[in-house]
C-alpha cells in the first residue's frame, strides 16, 4: 500500500477533480464488459455491475443532491431499485433479485450517471463547504464499489463454464520471498484514525489499546505455502478448524481456496481475472475464508494477528497485496459514534458476526485504503481478495 | 384453434420453407428485447430467451447435423451449455444457473443460429428422406420454445418493479359470451393421434376409451367469473381446494391468479405483455394453476373435464385461447412407445406428477397445436397461459 | 390376501364385537413398545404411535360421539392435538410437530381410548342404524392407522443407530417361485366397488373401463431379482428412470431400497421389524418408491400394470404380500362423490400428485383390504411396505 | 451470585462428596419429568434431557475412565450416541436426530449413570491426584448441562399446545427497583481468571485491558422497562436494530421476547417453568436475543457493556439473576491456550460468530458461575435465560 493520499480535505477545485477522477474510474472498469455481463448477479452476496454503477450515483443523489430543491431526479423510481440497505431512505428492491433488472439498460444507467455528474459538478463548483465531507464519503463509497465490481464480475465469470476473462494480460509471475518476522514489545498503542483526512466512522475514535508482546510476518502466506497445508490433509483434519468452519468444509465440499481448479495433475491452476492460469506458488494465496485462514495458521503453529497488532506494525511490513483476515471480530471501538443521518447506517449496523480484514488488495482502487481502514466480512466469505498474514505471541 | 396445418409430411422444398419460416419466427419474437433482457432467468422453471435461441439450434445440431461427419460444430463447448435434459447426450450446465451465461453473447448466439441454419439448409436441400421426420420434430420443438420465450420473458419482466412491456399495443377488449354447454352421450371414443402428420410420441398410439355421459362448456372461464370466486372467499375457504393446493395458498399467500395486481380499488388490473392494464372481465382467466382451476370448478359446482372428454368435443367448441387444465394426470397411453434414440427423453420421462393441459394459447405459434396435443405442467405452475374450461356429468 | 371378510353390514351385536376386536388390535400392536418409543416422530410423513392411538379415538369422538349431546369429551383440548387434516373440524397442531407432544402421556391416551370405547359401546349397543356406516368407517380408518403404526415405528427404529427390533422372531425364509404370467384379452371391464359391503368413497362408483390385451406376473418381484438390477448398474444408469426419480437418486444418494444395509460384503442384509437380518432373495422386494419400481420395470423390459389391469386379474394371482405400485395416477373415478360431511375430506382432496398402490402387505390388518382397494402415496415414498408386480402388453 | 465456592482444589474426600452432590443434582432435576418428556428434542439447538444425562456420564467415561484398562464400558455403542462434538473422540450421531433415540430407555440411561458413578467413586477414592483436574472439569461440565436440562425442557414444553408446567409453585413476585449506576474511571484492569480454583480455559490467561471511563446499571432491565420499548414500536422501527437482527424480526415475526404470550388484553402473560403466568413487571426481562438486547439499549440511549467493563464492576452490582449479553464478541484472550487433549475442543473451536454473556441465571446450579465466567451464544439465541444490563460512556 502506497502512502495515504486519496480523497481528503481538498479545496473545491481539487474536490471536483477528485470527483471526476473517481467517477471516471468506475466507468473505465466497465470497459471490458458487455451489457449482458453487467446485468447478472451470480449470488445474493454479489451485485450486478450495472447495479453498482447506478447505486453509487443514487448515493450522491440521495445524500447530497436531494436536499437541493432545484434538483430533479433522473427517474423517481430509481430510489426503490438502487437503495442498498438504508432503512431511513425508504423501501427497496430485494437484494437477491438485483440480477432481474434488465431495464433500465446499461445505457440508461450511464445516462443516469451523467445526470448526477452534471448536478454534482455544478454543486461542487459552487464551493459549498457544508457538502464537502459528504462528497468525500460518496467518493470513498464509490471506490468501495469499484472493488466490488471486480470481485463480483470475477465470481460471475467463474459461474460460466466457459471461464471468460475480464482482461487479456496474464498476472505477472512473482518472486519467492523468505518469511521474516517483525517483533513488537507490547504496551499501550494508539489505534484508529485521527486528523482531518477522510476516514469511515468505524475507524474512530482514536483510542488506546494495551498489547502483549508479539511478532508478525513480513509477507502474506503464499500459494505454495498454502498448498503444503492442503497436501498435509488440511481439509480433511478437523483438529485445525473452528467448529463452524469444519461444518462448512463438509457441507460445501471445500478442498482448496475458491477459484482453484482441479486439473488432472492436481490443484495447479486457478481462475483469475485473466481466465485460468497456472498457479503461481510465490503469489499470496487469495480467496480464502476466515475459517481457512485460521485453520492454516493453526496448522502452521501460529495464529492470525488481531487488528490492533496489525495496525501498529503495518507501516513497517507494508500491506496492500491482499485483504488480510485478522483474529478480531468486527466490534465497535470504545466511544464509537455513527455518521449523522442516513449515513449512520453505513457501518454500524453490521457490527456483529463479521471479522475484520485489514490492508488492501490488487482490486482496491489506488489511494483508497488506510492503515486504520477496517474492512469486514462474514467468516465464510471467499469471493473477496482475502488472504493470510501470520502472527505469534512472544 | 384453426384447422391443423402446420409442419407435416411436406416435400423437401416445402420442408425447407417451413424450416426457414419457423426459425425466422423465433428471431422475430426477440425483436423487442435487448441483449440484457435475453440473458436473464427469473426462476429455475424459466430460461433466458438467449438460451431458448441457442438450445433450439443445439437440438438440430445434436439430433441431425451431428451424424453428418462433414459438419463442424460452431463451438464444441455449446453442447454442455445448451443441452436441456438429455442424459443420452452428455452432461450439462445446471438448469437454475442458465441466467449466469453472459458469454456467448446474444450476438454470438445469433451467429450460432446462422451456422446451424446454413448447414440445415444444405442438408434439407439434399432431400434426404431419412432426416425429414427429425427436422419436423426439431421445428415443433422450436415452436414449443417460441411459446416459452413469451411465457418466460413475461415472468422476467414481472420481476422488475418497473413492469416493462414487451409490446406496445394493448390487448383488444373482448365481448361478453354466454356460457353454453355441449352434451356427449358417452360410449367408446377414439383418442390420440393417427395418420402421417406430425405428432409427439405422447399423443400415440390412437386407442379407444370408454366415456360416461357428460357435457362441457363452450367457452373458457372469464376473468369476471373468476373474480366472483375470489369475492366469494375462494382463496380463504379450504373446502374448495385439493390439500396440496390449500397448502400453497397459505404458504405462498396466493389470493388471485399470477399477474393480477393489487390496486387501491381492488384487484382490477393485470400485468400483460403490454404492461399493466385494466382487467378485461370478458377475457378468459389466465395464469391459474391446476389447483386454482380445480378449486374454481368445485366452487362453481362443476368439475374439470378429463383430457378424453376434452378431445372428443374439441372440434365443436373450438379451443385456442388459453391452455386448459384437465382433470387427467399425465400418464402414458396404453402401448405408449417413446421416440427412438435420444428423442425418447423428449416426453416419456416426465410422465409423473404432472397434469395434462389441452388446447393452445395466445402465445402458441400458429399451426403448432392439434386436437390431440398433450401439454403438461405440474399442478402448481402458473406462469403459462393456462385457464379453465368446465365440465359436468350428465 | 384371504377372502374378503372384514367389517361390513353386520347387525349391531356383530358390529360391537367388531368394534372391540379392532380397537383391541391397535393396543396389541403397541405391546412391544415403551412410552418413549410411542412418543417420537422420525419424519413429517410419519406420526408417533401415541398420536395414532389418540387420533383414531378422536375420529370416533368427532364423527360419531360429538352429535350425542350427553357425551362429554375426555379433554376438550384434544381436538386441536389429534385432528389430522380435517379443515371442517377446526384448527390443528402442525403435523411436523407431533413428536413434541409428551403430554398427554401414553397412559393418558390409553385412558382416552377407554373413555371413547365406553361411550361407543353404549352407543352401538343402542343399535341405532344411522351410525352403523360411520362406525364401520371409523374401524376401517383405525385399521389403516394400524398399518401406519407398523410402518412408522419401523422407520423410527431405523433412525436409531442401535437398530432396535420391534419383535423377536425373525422373518420366515421364503421359497423360490418361478415367474409366471396371466394373460388377459382386453375389452370392457367392471372396475370399482359395488354392493353393500364397506368400501371407501375413492373405490366408487363401479364403472366400466376399456382394457387393451395384456399380461401380468403371478408373483411380485423378489429381492434377488431386484439385486440383479442393482448389480447391472440400475442406480447409475439414467436411461431407466423417470426424470424426477433420477433427480432423487442423485440428490438422496439412493443406491438400494430403503432399509437395505451396506455390509462389508455388499448389500446383503436388511433392517426389518426383527432388526437386521440377512436379505432373503426369495422374498418380495419391499420399501421401493414408485420411481424405483418403474425403473426396475424399464430395466426388465416390462412395465407396471395400471390399477385397472391389476384389479381385473387380482383374484387369479392373489395379492397381499406387498403393496404394489401401479402405473396409474390417483385420479377420481368418473362420477366420484366424496363421503358426506367432514368425512368428505378423507380421500378426495388428496387426488393429485400420487400414485395408486393395490393389494395389501404383511403389515395390513387381516380383513382390511379388498380387490377394489386403492392405496396411494407420492412417487418418492419408500417407508411403506411397497413392492413391484410386472406387466406387459400382449 | 453468591461468593465463589464451587468445585475446586479439594482433597479427595471433598472431591468425592462434590462428585456425588453434582451427579445427584442432575437426577433431582429430572424428578418432575416422565420418560417421554426426557426423550424429545424440540429443535436442533436443544437436546433431550435423557441425552444430557447420558452425555455427562460419557464425558467422565471418555476423558477419565477410558484410560483405566480395568474399566469396562457400560455399552460400547454409547460413544457414538453420546459424544457431542469431540472430533478427537470419534464419529457421532447427528445432533438434530438426538430426539429419535428412544432406546436406550431412560431407565437404561440411569443404569449407565450408576455404572459410571461406581467406577468414578472407586477411582476418586484411590486419591490419584492426576485425575482431580479432569474430575473437576467433568463436574463443571455436568453443571452446564444441568442448566441446559432446564432451558431445553422449557423450550420443549413450550412447543406443546397444552403448555405443561415443570414445577408447581409459581415464580415469586419481585419488587420494583430503581435504576442506579456505578461509575468507573477507566484505566488498566486485570481481566480473566487467576489462581488454583477451577476455571475454563476460555477465562484465561489473566491479562490486562485498558478501559475508557464508563458506568454500568446496578440492575438488569425489567419486564416493565422492556414493555415500554415494545409499546414505543421497538419491533417495528429498524433504526434501533443491527441489520441481521432486523432481518430476523421480519422473517421470524418477532414482536416480544420468547415465551411472552399474546393475550386478548395485550402481552401480559408469559410461559415459565410453572406454566403460563402473569408477566411480572419488576422481574428482569428474560429470553431475549443479543439483537433484542442491543436494540433495547439503542432505544434507551445507552449501550451494552463490554465483557471487560462488566467484569471489573461485577462484584459491586452482584449479578446472577439472568445471563447478561455483553457487546463483546467471543474472541480468544491474548495468549489463550486450550485445555490439553480432547478437552481442547471444549471451548476454543467455538470462538467465532458468538457473543459473550456474563453472570448466571435462575437456572444456573449454585456455585457454578464466577465473575470471570464467559458464557457464549449466537446473537439470535433466545431460549437461554438471557437478559440485559445497560452501560454508557462517561
Phi and psi (nearest 5°) for D350?
-100, 10
Q: How confident is the model at residue C1 (pLDDT cuts 50, 70, 90)?
A: very low
> Could you report the per-residue pLDDT of C166-185, keeping only the tens digit for each?
999 998 999 998 889 999 99
Whether A164 has its CB under 8 Å from any CB of chain D: the answer is no
What is the C-alpha separation between D374 and D358, in angstroms, rounded? Answer: 6
> Could you report the per-residue pLDDT of A179-228, keeping only the tens digit for each?
899 999 999 999 999 998 999 999 999 999 999 999 999 999 999 999 99
Q: Which of A320-334, B20-34, B64-78 has the lowest mean pLDDT?
A: B64-78
Cβ neighbours of residue C91 closer than 8 Å, sequence gap 6 or more:
C80, C83
Vertex C375: Cα angle to C374 and C376 (nearest 5): 115
Instruction: Find out whether B316 and B351 touch, Cβ atoms under 8 Å.
Output: no
Residue C267 pLDDT: 58
What is the C-alpha separation between B78 and B108, in angstroms, rounded? Answer: 11
What is the bridge-based pairing of β-strands B386-387 and B323-329? parallel
Asked if pLDDT for residue A383 goes beyond 60, the answer is yes
Residue A5 pLDDT: 37
Is C329 within 8 Å of B329 when comparing Cβ atoms?
yes
Average pLDDT over residues B93-120: 97
> Could you report the per-residue pLDDT of D126-185, keeping only the tens digit for each?
887 889 999 999 999 999 999 999 999 999 999 999 999 999 999 899 999 888 999 999
Q: What SS3 state is found at A352?
A: coil
Whether C276 has its CB under 8 Å from any CB of chain D: the answer is no
Whether D261 has its CB under 8 Å from any CB of chain C: the answer is no
Rounded to two decimals, the pTM is 0.95
In this structure, whether the domain defined by D181-393 belongs to CATH 3.90.1580.10 is answered with yes
Instruction: Find out whether A226 and A285 touch, Cβ atoms under 8 Å.
Output: yes
Q: Which of A56-60, B312-316, D15-19, D266-270 has the lowest mean pLDDT?
A: D266-270
What is the C-alpha separation between A261 and A110, in angstroms, rounded? Answer: 36
In order, the DSSP letters of C81-116 are HH--S-GGG-----GGGGGG---S-HHHHHHHHHHH
More confident residue, D369 or A4: D369
> Using a CB-CB distance cutoff of 8 angstroms, which residues of chain D are in contact with residue C36?
35-36, 38-39, 102-103, 105-106
> Using a CB-CB distance cutoff of 8 angstroms, which residues of chain D are in contact with residue C42?
100
Vertex D291: Cα angle to D286 and D293 (nearest 5): 45
Domain borders along chain D are: 12-158, 181-393
> Could you report the per-residue pLDDT of B235-280, keeping only the tens digit for each?
999 999 999 999 999 999 999 999 999 876 665 899 999 999 999 9
In the block, residue with C-alpha cell 497445508: A229
What is the C-alpha separation between D289 and D241, in angstroms, rounded? Answer: 12
Question: Within the 74-93 window of chain C, which residues sit less than 8 Å (CB to CB) from chain B?
Answer: 85, 87-88
What is the C-alpha separation between B204 and B209, in angstroms, rounded? Answer: 13
Residue B267 pLDDT: 58
Residue C265 pLDDT: 66
Whether D96 has its CB under 8 Å from any CB of chain A: the answer is no
Q: What SS3 state is found at D315?
A: helix
For residue D250, give Cα distances in angstroms to C134, D241, D297: 46, 12, 20
For residue A334, give Cα distances in angstroms to A343, A346, B81, D308: 20, 18, 53, 12
Average pLDDT over residues A273-296: 97
More confident residue, A70 or D281: D281
What is the C-alpha separation between B226 and C191, in angstroms, rounded? Answer: 36
Q: How confident is the model at residue B11 (pLDDT cuts 50, 70, 90)?
A: low
Q: Which of A171-175, D56-60, D251-255 has the lowest mean pLDDT?
A: A171-175
Q: Which of B60-64, D212-216, D264-268 has the lowest mean pLDDT?
A: D264-268
Residue A4 pLDDT: 32
Q: How confident is the model at residue D10 (pLDDT cuts 50, 70, 90)?
A: low
Closest among D117, D110, D61 to D89, alpha carbons compared: D61
Which long-range contacts link B168-173 to residues 24+ away (Cβ below 8 Å)? B168/B274, B169/B274, B170/B272, B170/B274, B170/B277, B171/B272, B171/B274, B171/B277, B171/B280, B171/B283, B173/B280, B173/B282
Longest Cα pair distance anywhere in chain B, in angstroms?
65
Q: What is the DSSP letter of A365?
A: P
In order, the DSSP letters of A6-50 are SS-S--HHHHHHHHHHHHHHHHHHTTT--HHHHH--SSTTS--HH
B269, containing H or E segment: strand B266-272
> Could you report the per-residue pLDDT of C206-240, keeping only the tens digit for each?
999 999 999 999 999 999 999 999 999 999 999 99
pLDDT > 70 in chain D, percent:
96
For residue A4, give Cα distances in angstroms to A24, A99, A386: 21, 35, 21
> Could you report the per-residue pLDDT of C70-112, keeping only the tens digit for each?
899 999 999 999 999 999 999 999 999 999 999 999 999 999 9
pLDDT > 70 in chain A, percent:
96
pLDDT > 70 in chain C, percent:
96
> Using a CB-CB distance cutoff of 8 angstroms, which residues of chain B are in contact with residue A39?
36, 39-40, 102
Per the prediction, chain D carries an average pLDDT of 94
Residue C2 pLDDT: 33
Q: What SS3 state is found at C314?
A: helix
Closest among A102, A98, A109, A106 to A41, alpha carbons compared: A98
Q: Which residues of D41-63 are buried (b: 16+ CB within 10 A; e: fewer)?
A: bbeebbbbbbbbbbbbbbbbbbb
What is the bridge-based pairing of β-strands D386-387 and D323-329? parallel
> Using a CB-CB distance cutoff of 8 angstroms, which residues of chain B are in contact with residue C356?
none
Instruction: Find out whether C166 and C32 touch, Cβ atoms under 8 Å.
Output: yes
Residue C264 pLDDT: 66
Whether A207 has its CB under 8 Å from any CB of chain D: the answer is yes
pLDDT > 70 in chain B, percent:
96
Vertex C348: Cα angle to C346 and C353 (nearest 5): 115
Q: How confident is the model at residue D3 (pLDDT cuts 50, 70, 90)?
A: very low
Is A210 within 8 Å of D208 when comparing Cβ atoms?
yes
Closest among A160, A30, A48 to A100, alpha carbons compared: A48
Q: What SS3 state is found at B232?
A: coil
> Could you report the per-residue pLDDT of C124-135, keeping only the tens digit for each?
998 878 899 999
More confident residue, D190 or B127: D190
Closest among B314, B315, B312, B308 to B331, alpha carbons compared: B308
Q: What SS3 state is found at A181?
A: strand
Residue A11 pLDDT: 62
Could you tell me where the beta strands, DSSP code E, fall in chain D?
181-184, 187-191, 207-211, 214-217, 260-263, 266-272, 275-278, 323-329, 355-359, 375-377, 386-387, 391-393
Residue D78 pLDDT: 97
Closest among B339, B334, B385 to B362, alpha carbons compared: B385
Residue B3 pLDDT: 33
Residue D1 pLDDT: 33
In DSSP terms, A189 is beta-bridged to A209
> Could you report the per-residue pLDDT of B199-247, keeping only the tens digit for each?
999 999 999 999 999 999 999 999 999 999 999 999 999 999 999 999 9
What is the C-alpha separation between A319 and A357, in angstroms, rounded? Answer: 12
Residue D101 pLDDT: 97
Residue A127 pLDDT: 81
Instruction: Find out whether A89 and A82 touch, Cβ atoms under 8 Å.
Output: no
More confident residue, C264 or B10: C264
Vertex D298: Cα angle to D292 and D304 (nearest 5): 75
Is D212 within 8 Å of A207 when comparing Cβ atoms?
yes
In DSSP terms, A258 is beta-bridged to none
> Using a CB-CB distance cutoff of 8 angstroms, which residues of chain C are in contact with residue D276?
none
Residue B92 pLDDT: 95
Asked if pLDDT for residue A340 goes beyond 50, the answer is yes
Q: Which residues of B163-187 are buried (b: 16+ CB within 10 A; e: fewer)?
A: ebbbeeeeeeeeeeeeeeeeebebe
Residue A67 pLDDT: 84
Q: Which value does ipTM take for this structure?
A: 0.94
Sign for the CA dihedral angle at C192, C196, C197, C202 comes to positive
Average pLDDT over residues A291-305: 98
In this complex, does chain A touch chain C, defined as having at least 3 beta-carbon pairs under 8 Å apart?
A: no
How far A291 CA lies from chain D's nearest CA (Å)?
A: 9
> Could you report the per-residue pLDDT of C101-153, keeping only the tens digit for each?
999 999 999 999 999 999 999 999 988 788 999 999 999 999 999 999 999 99
Mutate to test the interface with A, among D329, D333, D380, D391 (most CBs of A within 10 A): D329
Amino acid at each position: 500500500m502506497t502512502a495515504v493520499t486519496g480523497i481528503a480535505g481538498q479545496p473545491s477545485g481539487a474536490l471536483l477533480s477528485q470527483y471526476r477522477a473517481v467517477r471516471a474510474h468506475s466507468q473505465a472498469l466497465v470497459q471490458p464488459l458487455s451489457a449482458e455481463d453487467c446485468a447478472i448477479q451470480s449470488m445474493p452476496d454479489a451485485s450486478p455491475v450495472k447495479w453498482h454503477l447506478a447505486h453509487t450515483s443514487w448515493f450522491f443523489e440521495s445524500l447530497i443532491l436531494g436536499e437541493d430543491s432545484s434538483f430533479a431526479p433522473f427517474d423517481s423510481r430509481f430510489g426503490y431499485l438502487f437503495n442498498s440497505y438504508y432503512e431511513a431512505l425508504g423501501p427497496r428492491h430485494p437484494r437477491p433479485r438485483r440480477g432481474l433488472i434488465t431495464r433500465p439498460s446499461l445505457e440508461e444507467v450511464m445516462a443516469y450517471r451523467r445526470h448526477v455528474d452534471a448536478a454534482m459538478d455544478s454543486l461542487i463548483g459552487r464551493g459549498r463547504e457544508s457538502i464537502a465531507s459528504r462528497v468525500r464519503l460518496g467518493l470513498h463509497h464509490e471506490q468501495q464499489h469499484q472493488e466490488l465490481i471486480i470481485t463480483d464480475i470475477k465470481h460471475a465469470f467463474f459461474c460460466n463454464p466457459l471461464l471468460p476473462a475480464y482482461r487479456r494480460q496474464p498476472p505477472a509471475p512473482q518472486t519467492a520471498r523468505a518469511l521474516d518476522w517483525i517483533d513488537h514489545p507490547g504496551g499501550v498503542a494508539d489505534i484508529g484514525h485521527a486528523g482531518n483526512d477522510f476516514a469511515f466512522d468505524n475507524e474512530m475514535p482514536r483510542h488506546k489499546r494495551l498489547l502483549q508482546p508479539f511478532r508478525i510476518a513480513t509477507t502474506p502466506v503464499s500459494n505454495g505455502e498454502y498448498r503444503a497445508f492442503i497436501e498435509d490433509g488440511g481439509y480433511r483434519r478437523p483438529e485445525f478448524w473452528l467448529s463452524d468452519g469444519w461444518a462448512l468444509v463438509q457441507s460445501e465440499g471445500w478442498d482448496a481456496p475458491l477459484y482453484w481448479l482441479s486439473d488432472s495433475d492436481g490443484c495447479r491452476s486457478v481462475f483469475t481475472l485473466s481466465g485460468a492460469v497456472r498457479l503461481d506458488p510465490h503469489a499470496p494465496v487469495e480467496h480464502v475464508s476466515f475459517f481457512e485462514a485460521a485453520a492454516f495458521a493453526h496448522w502452521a503453529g501460529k495464529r492470525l494477528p488481531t487488528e490492533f497488532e496489525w495496525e501498529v506494525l503495518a507501516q513497517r511490513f507494508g500491506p496492500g497485496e491482499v485483504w488480510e483476515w485478522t483474529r478480531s471480530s468486527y466490534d465497535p471501538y470504545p466511544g464509537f459514534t455513527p455518521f449523522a443521518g442516513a449515513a449512520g447506517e453505513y457501518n454500524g449496523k453490521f457490527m456483529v458476526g463479521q471479522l475484520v480484514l485489514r490492508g488492501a488488495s490488487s482490486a482496491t482502487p489506488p489511494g483508497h485504503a488506510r492503515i486504520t481502514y477496517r474492512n469486514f466480512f462474514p467468516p465464510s466469505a471467499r469471493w473477496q481478495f482475502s488472504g493470510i498474514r501470520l502472527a505469534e505471541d512472544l
